Amino acid sequence: QLQLVESGGGLVQPGGSLRLSCAASGFTLDYYDIGWFRQAPGKEREGVSCISSSGGSTNYADSVKGRFTISRDNAKNTVYLQMNSLEPEDTAVYYCAAIPRGWGCSNSMDYWGKGTLVTVSS
């Protein structure tokens, strides 16, 4: 069964950091572009960051540039999202998603995880 599982969410104070992980089972992430998305309460889901299958290309939403870093370890079949200088506006459920390499990230990804909640609050 093809599955993506996010972990690493939690409660953090403003200015703090978290690292999210996205682990795949049932398939090899080497052949997939991976995206992180988030959905805040009452808002639509938005793209946060995307990384190509090789890791050679990344992009970020303007709202997280300079604060978030996406990376991947294909040997561990895992993608990460390092989040620094967190702000209350970053509070959301964070999802990872996969699409065959070359297609790029969008809301039409092939596989989605169930999400992990990040709450930024004092």
pLDDT tens for the chain, 122 residues: list them: 789 999 999 999 999 999 999 999 988 999 999 999 999 999 999 999 999 999 999 999 999 999 999 999 999 999 999 999 999 999 999 999 999 998 889 889 999 999 999 999 99
* Calpha distance 121→69 (Å, rounded): 21
Q: Where in the chain does DSSP place strands (E)? A: 3-7, 10-12, 18-25, 32-39, 46-51, 58-60, 68-73, 78-83, 92-100, 111-112, 116-120
Query: For residue 52, which of 75, 72, 82 has the smallest C-alpha distance?
Result: 72
